[in-house]
Structures are given as C-alpha cells and as structure tokens.
Amino acid sequence: MNKTLLLLTILGLLGCQQEATETTASSQAEPTPQTEEPVMTDTQPPIAEKRPHVFEIHGDERIDNYHWLRDDTREDADVLAYLNAENEYTRQQMADQEAFTDRIYNEIVARIVQNDESVPYKIDDYWYYRKFTEGQEYPIYARKQGSMEAAEEILIDVNQLAEGHAYYASNSQSVSHDHKIYGFSEDTVSRRQYDLRFKNLETGEMLEDVITNTTGSMAWAKDNKTVFYTRKHPTTLLPYQVYRHVLGTPTSEDVLVYEEPDNTFYIACYTSRSKDYIMIYTGATTLTEIMYLPADDPTGEFKSVLPREPKHEYSVEDFNGDWIIKTNWNALNSRVMKAPIGDSTDKSKWQEVVPHDDETLIYDVETFQDWLVVEQRKDGIRHLKALNWASGESKLIQSDEATYTMSVAYNPEQNHNTMRYDYDSLTQLGSVMEIDLNSGEKKLLKQDRINGEHNPELYQSQRLEIRARDGAMVPVSLVYKKDLGALNQRPLLVYGYGSYGSSIDPRFSLSRLSLLDRGFIFAIAHIRGSQAKGRQWYEDGKMFNKMNTFTDFIDATKALLAENYGDPKRVYAWGGSAGGLLMGVVANLDGMLYDGMIAAVPFVDVVTTMLDEDIPLTTGEFDEWGNPKNQDSYEYMLSYSPYDQVKAQDYPNILITTGLHDSQVQYWEPAKWAAKLRDLKTNDKLVLLRTNMDTGHGGASGRFAYYKETAEDYVFLLKLAGIKE
C-alpha cells in the first residue's frame, strides 16, 4: 500500500480541487481576445443579515456578523433560504452563458472514452479490474478466474447501488483472502462517513452485516470472516477507533481493539502488502506510530513497530521477515532503514538501506523480489529509483520529458521483479507502464484514451524557477497550446495549493484542453508549504512561516507576467480547500493583480475554525497552522486569516464554491466570506457563491456530473477573459 496516499486519504486533502487527470477534440478555433469588461446583469445580490456574534480570547474581541450562517443540522430555514438565494443570483449572473456552459460540458464529456477498462491486476488465481460502460456515471467492478479470456464475474455494479441517490461514493473495495467475500464502502451523503457492506461471491447475496460511520477502509484476517475497520468520532468525524468484526455477528458485539487517546492524531487500519499483517497507522502532522498484528491471529494483541517519539515520522512495509522503514530520524528528507519484525523497537539496531540526501525527498518505498523501489523527488520532479537488494546496484527510471510525474502504481504482490508505475505530464495522456527491473525493459500496459484527436506536439510544457521576494527559487510548471498568438496577449491561469506538504504534480487533464485550446496559459506554482523541493520547502511554508506560501504565489504570478507569459489584464487564480485559503489571502494582499479567482471549498475562517475542536480536522492540524489558544499562534493566524482580514478595498471577480455537506471545510466558511466580501468591497466586481446542496468536499460523484461544475467554473473564467466561443 502506498503510504503517502494513505496519509493523504486520512487527512482528506485530495478534495483540494486538484486538476483531475482526465481525459477530446475540443474547439480548435483561434481565440478572440476581448479586453472589454464582461457584461454583468443588474440583478441585485443577496444581502446577508448582520447578527453580531462576539468572540473573545487573549483579550482580543472579534465581531462576526455572519456567524448565524453556521447550522450543523443543515436544516435551518433562514440559512437554506440564503444559500438558495445565492445560487439563484449566481445563476442569473451567468444566465447569458448557459449555452456556452452546455457547449463546454458537452465538449469535455465528448472526450471521454465511455467504454473503458482499467489494467487488470492479478491476486492468486484471479484477475481484478474496473470498467465503465457507455452512458453510465459509475464503475463496475469485476474479475475473471485463471485468465482474462475466462468468463466475467461482476462483483458490484456501482450504477445499480447509486440508483435513487443524489450522491454516491465508494472509496474502498476489498476481497477476503479466499476470494469468496467482497467488502465495499458506500457514502450517500458526501460527509465521508462510509458504511461497510459485504457480498457473498459464491451465492451473489448481500450479507446482513452493515457497519456504519467508518473511514471506508477494511483489513481482512486470514480466517476470511474477521474484518478490522476504523470508526469515526460522531461529532468531529476524526478517525479514532479500530474495531474487530466477525461476519454474521451483530455489530453491537464488535470488539474495540484500539482507541487513539490523542485527538491531534489520525488513525487508519489496513493490510500489509504481504497480507501477513493487520496494520494500524496513527499519525499527527509531525510524528507517527505503527502497530501490527499477524493476520492469522485476529484475536491477538497489536504490537508497536516503534513507539511514538517527538517529531519522528516513519512508515513501514514488511519484506522477508524485516520491516523496511522510511524514516525522518536524523534525516530531514527521510532515509530507508530495515529492522527484524519483532525486534524493531530499538533504533540502534536499525540498518541503513538508502542514506539521506539533502537534495532528494523520499516519498515511499515498494519491495520486490530482488529490488527495492524508491519513490522520490529531486529538483521538483517526482520519479523512481530502483536498488538491487544483493548487489546494491541502483538505477533511475528515465523519462524523455523535462517536466513529468512518475509514481508507483498498484503492485499487489512482492514475489516478482516486474513493477507497474504511472506516468503523466502536462501534454501526454496518463499511462500505466510495466518495467522489468532486471533488464530495464519497459512495456506500455495502457495509455488513457481520448475521443477525437490529441496531438501532444501541438502543446508546449515548460518548467521555470522564479525568484521570490526573499530570494527563494520557486518552481513553476506551465503548459499552453502553440501557435495561438503571442503569449503576452493570452489569458493566464495560475493554480496553487501549498499546504500539508502536498505537491501539485504536473499531470494531464482532459478538461483543461477546453481552456488551452482557447488560448489560456495554465501554470502551477509549486509554492512553499508543499514538498516540491523537499521537506524544508514544507517547513518553510507552515506554522509561523505560512506567509511564504501566499507571497510565493503572488511573486510567481508577477514573474510570469514579467517573462511575457500572460496578458496583465487577464490574469486568473484558482485554488481549492487549503488552496482556497491561498486565494483568500492573496485576494486581501494583492487581489487586483488578478481579474478573477476561483476559490473552491475554501478554508477561509482560519481562527474561528481552529478554535473549535468539535469541527472535523481541527485538532489534527495544530502542527500545520498552530493552536490559536496560544497567543502567538492566534496573532499570527489572525494576521492572514482571509475572513478576518477582509477590508474596505477593491477585490477581483471571485467565484466561491462549496457543498452543503462538506465535512472538510464546512459550508458556512465560504458562505460567510462571500457575505463579508460583498459588504466591504469598494468596487463593482462580482462575488458569486455556488453551493451544491447535494454534495460535500469533492463535488458531484458521477464521472459525467462532475464536469457540469467544471464547465461552470471554466465559463466563469472565459466570460471574464472575453472569450465567447
């Protein structure tokens, strides 16, 4: 299991509205730049009533006029009326673009190859895969026994399960060791509170066992009837308990095997890659502990790989009787060690396998029969290196492109020397590759397809470094279509995130073609707060260094314009979740550098949220933002908190999006921010709030429905840029 993905899943960060790796023939028409102010309607926006609410701490008093918009039940009539009024106002302001929005949506969806199938992976005698069929929103999970020429067996058809639900998501599927019971998760509300269900694959019947309020993941014991799962706190939604369930018994009899006492930690339960161990991961922002239990002893006691230590983060994979350990012990960018399973609690006995490198950040490791594969980042590029266990030989897996993303794909078995990996770039459709680690021979297993023609040679990708105001060199990845006119006359869209050490890697986007083919330059600013240049890059953009994240983004935008990338009158910014925080701060600091912004599910009421430990994610993020109960943290966070720092000044056009059931960034943060912006801004630029009343942090759940909101977002930018077709 990829431990980096595990942690990101736990933190819920992948709802940050990153550009999806999607897959058209889009309009090839020459863009027609028009710099006149886009026509807005004279419809009056909703005016939220002011009901002053006083917050007081550290002798400081804050007045929040819109605190009343918080409704944990999502049923308050006044709140729902206000959100619906905002939706109607947004609809009216964009009414003249309805036909264009439909065109963009149809254009994007037309690119999707509707009958599509994943690369099958083999576990024991079965080949498992996922497929989509024409016109269907959701996947079908299936398998074949013996070979891919065998008869197909449908495991679950998510389209059938989703019938009658406005939202449906399954974030985890797992088969028992004997391949007879299929477990899967489902969320029909979009609060990321998943029920676990089980299907008997021999009879085709659904079992009566339904486990509620979980993270969605599960770990099977080798008796094929015992399942371990992680339960969420009913109020904070923090994963905090691991239970053991025996199929066929009431869930009321489930046994609590672990409860995390520290509410700054997240936990998860999973099966080791060898399938020999049940693992419990516990982690805060700066330290972790991992526990294990033999999968053939489900009623046994969990043991710790290494008890938690201050500022020590590690992850493990079991291999040939050893733990292979990625650790930051005396290694800022991490190194790889090994220790015998059952005798790992004394670090002095650990043996170094891959030493620390000041220039290279280690993300993850994956073990194979004769090779260790290290997923790492150097010079901002995520790539792979293989090391031979016996000889010590090491070799990089090469790419011909200057800017790309390479990551380990799903490799369920260890006892061979072929590895699957994913390859992506801003111009090339994503691929699943397979490499023979002994010979170095590569094989393309699948490249994402696209309806219509896509010629990567028509697009240009580049990687730049710009100098921030304090001298730091900030990487920027960008892509644009060639031969559409001078670069300094084109609209420029800058995307950023910059938190949690999460890096926005350059990947292909199916939908983004609709902007590129109309002349947009798309840039990703790899700002501090990510790990684009190693762990120190993250440390320099968190806590009391957080302001670097925001000034890096502004400086990157200005540097691109200085290098003649983009028309200064048509510059746009986009970020989601913590990237929405970025948008909010930039709007306050230097908003009029941009003609428009999209702030998706934005975390903007930083101080109030971080003072409320009943809100999901709060306690687990004190090491990211600070704890405002400490006066120094309070004052620093208050100095940039977007909602608190809205003032009487000009603001750019801003589209703010949220979901009523969002569990990561509660809907009332963007709703309050929109109301305050509209009240205090001194110009006539648009502030639009769009609330999806059926979904949460990640938006719509279907593969086509998702793009309806994408089309609306794009048309907001296109309208501002004066591009009408």
Residues forming the active site = 577, 662, 697
Helix or strand holding residue 442 (H, E): strand 442-447
Query: CB atoms < 10 A from the CB of 580, how many?
Result: 30
Q: How many residues does the structure list for the chain?
A: 725
Q: How far apart are CA 305 and CA 166, in angstroms?
A: 43
- Give, in order, the Cα–Cα distances in Å from 526 to each of 138, 180, 554: 33, 46, 12
Q: Measure Cα distances from 538 to 10, 527, 530, 625 in Å.
A: 19, 9, 5, 12
Q: How far apart are CA 547 and CA 590, in angstroms?
A: 13
Q: What are phi and psi of 380, to 5 degrees?
A: 85, -5
How far apart are the C-alpha atoms of 344 and 346, rounded to whole Å? 6
User: Taking the mean position of all CA atoms in its chain, how far away is CA 70?
Assistant: 25
Q: Measuring CA to CA, which residue among 574, 630, 633 is closest to residue 600?
A: 574
Closest C-alpha to 461, from 400, 371, 386: 400
The span from the CA of 28 to the CA of 174, in Å, is: 44
CA distance 308 to 282: 9
Amino acid symbol at 565: Y
CA distance 665 to 404: 30
**HSE toward the beta carbon, residue 107, CA cutoff 13 A:** 23
127: which strand partners?
Answer: 122, 144
For residue 261, which amino acid is it? Answer: P
Neighbours of 535 (CB within 10 A): 18
Amino acid in position 366: E
